[in-house]
Amino acid sequence: MRKPGLVASDVDGTLLDPMERVSSRTARTVRRVVASGTPFVLVTGRPPRWMPQVVDGLGVTGVAVCANGAVLYDTAADKVLRSHPIDPMLLHDVSRELRRELPGCAFAVERTTDGARDRLHEQFLAEADFRRAWMNSDIRVVGTDELTGKPAVKLLVLHEQLTSAEMTAVAGEVIGSELQLTYSTSSGLIELSAAGVDKATGLAAVAEQLGVDQADVIAFGDMPNDVPMLEWAGHGVAMRNAHPAALAVADEVTATNAEDGVAHLLDRWW
């Protein structure tokens, strides 16, 4: 590949080390990329509120693709630029069907506000069983009716006795093409977005805004939610620690996230 015109990277398991930190080497490399005039875009399953610590660690800002493509977020202005929510009626119907087919599962939703730090109590809502299994201070516990009563950019489904792949096999039969289904961890959590929304569509929107051709985009990832992006990019790179699904579609494999794999490959040009 010739020198990329845009660099895109997943966050967890890819850009961050196993302790969820930005290493000094990775930060230096990303800063060189940006200083050269080449856009660097974070493309993640994370919501906007989980981005400031990553941006601070890198020392660069820009437009980030969040919530698996459902949200475009300006990290410099702390402003949500665009979102693709799931309709409440569809949230209600899908959660009801999944509860029947995946007994013992629990639900949560991600919603957007104007910015990452704006009205945090409105952004991440979950059932009590979800909160019990996933201890996180961001979660506000609500009843199922309130959970599905407003649009959400992501529906999360948790099951303590199943893997994410096992859940996906069942959920895929239930939802069909009504929602986009993926996962970013193997530990019993699946993520649903609006139909046709994934990391590839989010990254394509940013590349178009920046005037960068698809062929000039290099993208890094490690999990099934990264597969559409790795396939779409002109050059898709999987981490050596990646899920088999990501490895299968990658044009190249770099070192692990513990070995600064993103920086290791970008050192070819910067």
Domain boundaries, the chain: 6-83+198-266, 88-194
**Binning pLDDT at 50, 70 and 90, where does residue 167 land?**
very high
- Do 235 and 220 touch, CB atoms closer than 8 A? no
> Span 170-194, mean pLDDT?
96
Residue 37 pLDDT grade (very low, low, confident, very high; cuts 50, 70, 90): very high
Q: What are phi and psi of 171, to 5 degrees?
A: -65, -35
pLDDT in tens, 238-259: 999 999 999 999 999 999 999 9
The arrangement of strands across the sheet holding 217-221 comes to 40-42, 6-9, 217-221, 235-239, 252-254
Sign of CA dihedral 104, 111, 165, 178: positive
Res 143: pLDDT: 92
Q: Which candidate, 228, 174, 167, places its Cα nearest to that of 197?
A: 228
Predicted pLDDT at 247: 98
Residue 35 pLDDT > 80, yes or no? yes
**Domain 6-83+198-266 - what CATH class?**
alpha beta
The Cα-based distances of 137 to 19, 50, 68, 79 in angstroms read 19, 12, 22, 22
pLDDT at site 1: 78
Highest CATH level, class, for 88-194:
alpha beta
Asked whether the beta carbons of 8 and 41 are under 8 A apart, the reply is: yes
CA angle 225, 143, 102 (to 5 degrees): 50
3-class DSSP state of 153: coil
Q: How confident is the model at residue 139 (pLDDT cuts 50, 70, 90)?
A: confident
Structure tokens at 91: 């949230």
| Nearest by Cα to 191 from 83, 122, 108 | 108
- How confident is the model at residue 217, as a pLDDT? 98
pTM equals 0.96
Can you give the pLDDT at residue 146?
92
